[in-house]
Each structure stands twice: as C-alpha cells, then as structure tokens.
Amino acid sequence: MPIDEYRNHDEIYRSILNLPALTYCKMNLKRRYDYSGNPTVRMLHVTSPLEEIVILQALDYDDIIGLLACAPHLKRLDFNFSKCRDNLPAIDSTIVSLRLTHLTVDMGLTPFDHFERITTNLLSHLQVLHISVKQNKKYLDANRWEQLISSSMPHLRIFDLNYSYHIYGIYTEWNLADCNETLRKFSSLFWAQHKWYFEYQLAVKDYEGEMCFFSVNPYR
C-alpha cells in the first residue's frame, strides 16, 4: 500500500487499523516530521486484529508505541527507526502489545539506549531479531547485548546483527586490532551457547572505506 505524502496520517492509520479482518499489512507513507507532542498513531484509541505489519517509512518512538497499543495481537513488526528526541517518555507496558515474536528493524544512526528503551519490558516473548545499524559503535558492545538479551529477550532464538561503519579521513574508530577485539568479545561462552557467530570485513583505501560486522548463518 504505497501512499504519497499526506498531511493527515491519523486518517490513514485509523482506516487501516479499523479493518476487522486485516491480519497483515505492508505500507509506505512518506514521513511526516511532527514532534509537537501529538504522535500520529498513539492518539487513535482503536484496537486492530493485525498480527504482522511491515512499514517501509521511518517511524519515531511515539508511533511505534502507538502501534503496539493499537494492535495487541501483533506478532511480527518490520520498520525503520527514525531519529527522535532525547527525552523519551517511559513506556507503560500495561497498554502495549507484549506478543511480538519477530522484529526486523533498521535503527540507522539511532542511539543504542533508544533501542534498549523499546526492548525493556516490551520484547519478553521475542524469538527472532533482525537489526541493522550504522556508525554507532555502542551497538557492538557484546557485554551490553548479553545483559539486554538475558534480561529482556530470554526466548530469543535468532539474533541477526548487521553493523556498518563508513570510514573517511585519517581518524577512525576502527582498525584491525579493534575489529579482532570486538570479534573476540562476541565469541564468549554466552554467544557460543546460543550458536550465534559473527564475522567482520574491513576495507580501507586512501583513508576511506567501510567496516562491516555481521551475523553468520543466523538461522542455524
């Protein structure tokens, strides 16, 4: 369902979420930047039977929480996370869906603590996580991931991480030693027990290149 830029996204979301037999939806709405305190989805006060949603445009934090509140049966969610304000409100886990089992998300440049805010108390039933991220080195903190998965995603079976860092100029956060040390930390007992394995690629020429860190055979 591709939809061109439309100022009243509330009407579009309400029409979709009110369909009584709709369990799957894939949509693409052009992003409306509105941080006025009136989130697009959260104000709808509707209940949808949707079980799987794929949203191709970027969603902000409030929209995500609104979707989870409007779709209590939601099990699969695929979206891009847009950068949002720093003062994220607390999540009331009593009004949002706790049934998500599959999450595919492109975090882009969004800080890791924003992802943690969504994860904590909301993804306790999650079994499959596909996450892509750029530049932010904190997403490659193996100990932080271990704590987050152990405390908030205890049923996780598939962890598919794709990280990329564009290198430009003489100064960079990555060199060969950094990559090897990161890989070593993602090879501890915790990761071995879950059979989650990783590799990296580092290509630099004339002070420009890319470092990629990614899961290997995440479906094993």
Contact 103, 126 (CB under 8 A): yes
Question: Helices 176-185 & 142-152, crossing angle to 10 degrees?
Answer: 30
- The average pLDDT across 2-15 equals 64
Question: What pTM was estimated for this model as a whole?
Answer: 0.85
Domain range summary for the chain, segments of one domain joined by + = 2-172
**pLDDT > 50? residue 39:** no
- The average pLDDT across 192-218 equals 89
The pLDDT tens digits for 163-201 are: 998 887 655 667 788 889 999 999 999 999 999 999 999
**pLDDT > 60? residue 121:** yes
- pLDDT at residue 72, rounded to an integer: 86
- pLDDT at residue 92, rounded to an integer: 62
Q: For the chain, what is the mean pLDDT? A: 82
Q: Dihedral, CA atoms, 47, 52, 55, 61, nearest 10 degrees?
A: 60
CA distance readout (Å), 20 to 27, 46, 47, 50, 65: 17, 11, 9, 9, 21
Class of domain 2-172: alpha beta
Among residues 70, 126, 69, the alpha carbon closest in space to that of 102 is found at 126
DSSP helix/strand/coil, 57 = strand
Quote the tokens at residue 141: 């903190």
